Amino acid sequence: MEQKTGTTRTAPAAQLGWLIAPLAVLLAIATIKLAGISFELDVDNLTPMIFIVVAGIFGLVPSMLNQSESITLSKTTISLSMLVTALVGAEIIYMQNYGALSGLIFALVSFGVHFMTSRGRHELATIIVFMAVGVNLGIIMAGDALASLPEIYNMAGPDEQASYVSTLNLKYQAVGYQFFSYLTLFTLVGVLVATIVRGVLTPVSETGWFSFMNNESSSIISTLSRLQTNSESLQLKVTTATLATGQPSSPVWSH
């Protein structure tokens, strides 16, 4: 019996991993526009997402330096340096009046991406970036709902006496629903993107949940290419059998 062993491949270039954070931000902006939210693409509105892009790229720098053998420091020293740098960056963001939340997200994303990539969990690093963008997107959507939904509603008809009821609790429920819906949505999108681009933009994980996908190929794109090749081979066999017998032949699937 022929036994197939798993093989892995690395990304074509380490710099391609830098495209993950900008891709997440572009998807968030597209979602805002499709939802019809009034959102100006100015510096003030885009600054929190720009911090996520910088943090996502910054978290990949140590891994790139390790691949290029530019530094000879231990993993513990690099991780400690990244943690200190992430905390200092978060403090600078807070001192520049961009908010404590933006600083916290910057620190979590930069160190989280480094922590996962240094341990070969590249897909989880991608998911972290998308979750951070989902937090910002959820805040934008929840803020729009908070500003547009009423706190008091008149339940009376046009010719009836006004009958006002409080909808404050319903308003807060809608705001929370908006936030967690978009956070969950972008987390799932992050999982999907991490699965698709593994082996294409990012290296494949050799440990963890995603390592179970490491069979002959390590990305969905490679799987689709393999299926297309198998289909063309089957069609060639059917054509050959037809020409040999002179009669149409039905395909026989081999396992």
Q: Please report where in the chains the tokens 């991993």 appear, as a residue.
A: 17
CB 182 within 8 A of CB 134: yes
- Residues of the chain short of pLDDT 70, as ranges, are 1-15, 68-71, 214-228, 230, 237-238, 241-255
Chain center to CA of 178:
19
Give the residue extent of every domain in the chain: 14-153+168-205, 219-255
pLDDT digits (tens, 9 = 90+) for 106-129: 999 999 999 988 888 888 899 999
H-only helix segments in the chain: 20-34, 43-67, 75-95, 100-118, 122-148, 168-197, 220-245
DSSP-derived secondary structure letter, 198? B
pTM as predicted: 0.75
